[in-house]
Amino acid sequence: MERKQFLKSLGMSGLIAPLIVSCSKDDDATPVPSITSFTPTSGVAGDTVTITGLNFSAVTTNNTVTFNGATATVTAATSTQLTVTVPSGVSTGKIAVTVNGQTGTSSSDFTVTTTSTGSSPTITSFTSSGSEGSTIVITGTNFSTTAASNTVTIGGVVATVVSATSTQLVVTVPSGATSGVITVTVGGVTATSSGTFTVTSASASCSTTDSETAGPFPTKDPSTLVKTDIRSDRTGVAFTITITLQDKNNSCAALEGAIVDIWHCDKDGYYSEYGGTSMQTVDYTSVHFLRGRQVTNSDGQVSFVSIFPGWYQSRATHIHVHIYNSSGTSLLVTQIGFPEGSNSAVVLVNASTANGYTKGMSGYTYNASDSVFTDSIDNEIATVTGSVADGYALTHTIVVSA
């Protein structure tokens, strides 16, 4: 009371209320959030980004975060860090954080890529050597399942990607390639092999692939089955087939323009175009699944999309192949065998009841006991890589005298 009277005597009593109000407003002012950094600095919708700064709200819903105007979901919050999910429809631009009407904006852009930075491609292994035009397999992680979305170089020269899964690429060694590292680029992010791929010369003394029987279920009218995807209505483990043809009469150079027919059984061991007999009781005479025709490209290659073949009594897993020259003259009828072993694709696929393979390996005829392969399996066996989950890829080179 004495203080108030003293201030009044000085004529300052009128300043007391404004002074109190002024101090109250300063104490309640909302601080402006600021962004000091964010990581990662690039990515795609669905990625998780951590934003570091000041004056965020510890209540997740009190923070509004946008990526170039698109609102993100805040999943965790403290006063100095926000964890957010990059929103759909995002484009490259600044990140903004708004708290109680106050907004802070990043000084740099968040860059939108076509692949997640947290899911960058990696190369774990690859076929160590090969000649121009040959097919090699690259294994790793986070590849694009669209072949054209993977850019592969061998010794700095761009290679053709024949087929792709998320963990495996089948590529053709390009013309002009030299020994060097392999790179795989997906969505602007590049993985480089730790080792070197060696480019070799095609052997002038290569051996012609053995001839085998076309029967008992050859394609009846192959010229009507020009297609890459031969699955039709058949289901099973995903499977791609890449065949490279070489000409024995031309130092085993790639054979362009040759006609290649293939056919194989379904997961239950049945062939299309046949049936209703003691040899195959189920009647598939009016359908044409798992049969196709393609013409080799400049690398001597054809590719087919199929399902992993099953097996039937007295035969190991196999694919039939009939090759003609560009005029339709038969050059070779042969068969392709599959690697065997406890962890082979043949064993793992036939154990996959979830994919409809119900026979298992009981009663299976192995290559060594198969009357077709006993004298020729060495130059008829293919390379098969992949997994039941991601599918398998078969690559095989056939040498003909054209």
Give pLDDT tens digits for 99-117: 999 999 999 999 887 655 5
**Higher pLDDT pick, 174 / 364:** 364
pLDDT exceeds 50 at position 346: yes
pLDDT exceeds 80 at position 201: no
With tokens 């999910």, the residue in question is: 85
CA 171, CA 157: separation in Å to the nearest integer? 12
- Provide the CATH topology of domain 34-112: Immunoglobulin-like (2.60.40)
Q: How high does pLDDT run on average in the chain?
A: 89
pLDDT grade, residue 203 (50/70/90)? low
pLDDT exceeds 80 at position 17: no
pLDDT exceeds 80 at position 27: no
pLDDT in tens, 47-73: 889 999 999 999 999 999 999 999 999
Nearest CA to 165 among 186, 196, 141? 141
pLDDT in tens, 147-169: 888 999 999 999 999 888 888 88
CA 215, CA 289: separation in Å to the nearest integer? 17
Nearest CA to 147 among 161, 168, 132? 161
**Higher pLDDT pick, 96 / 1:** 96
Mark residue 3 as left, alpha or beta (left: phi above 0; alpha: psi -120 to 50; beta: remaining). Answer: alpha
Per-residue tokens: 355: 């994919």
Which strand ranges, in their side-by-side order, compose the sheet holding 93-99? 42-43, 102-112, 93-99, 63-67, 70-71
**Higher pLDDT pick, 13 / 210:** 210
Asked: is 120-200 a CATH 2.60.40.10 domain? The reply is yes
Q: Give the Cβ contact number of residue 387 at 10 Å.
A: 17
- Domain borders along the chain are 1-25, 34-112, 120-200, 222-400
- Multiple choice CATH, 222-400, 3.40.50.2300, 2.60.120.370, 3.20.20.70, 2.60.130.10: 2.60.130.10
Per-residue tokens: 139: 């294994």
Nearest CA to 254 among 299, 205, 209, 200? 299
Beta strands 70-71 and 73-77 are unpaired
**Higher pLDDT pick, 39 / 366:** 366
Same topology between domain 120-200 and domain 222-400: no
pLDDT exceeds 60 at position 230: yes
Are 36 and 47 within 8 A, CB to CB? no
Q: Which positions ≥6 away from 341 have C-beta within 8 Å?
A: 347
pLDDT grade, residue 26 (50/70/90)? very low
The predicted model gives 123-142 an average pLDDT of 86
pLDDT grade, residue 361 (50/70/90)? very high
Note the pLDDT of residue 6: 45
DSSP per-residue string spanning 29-46:
PPPPPEEEEEESSEE-TT
Note the pLDDT of residue 209: 96
Q: What percent of the chain has pLDDT over 90?
A: 67
pLDDT grade, residue 389 (50/70/90)? very high
Beta strands 198-200 and 122-126 are unpaired
Per-residue tokens: 103: 């907004």
Q: Phi and psi (nearest 5°) for 120?
A: -70, 150
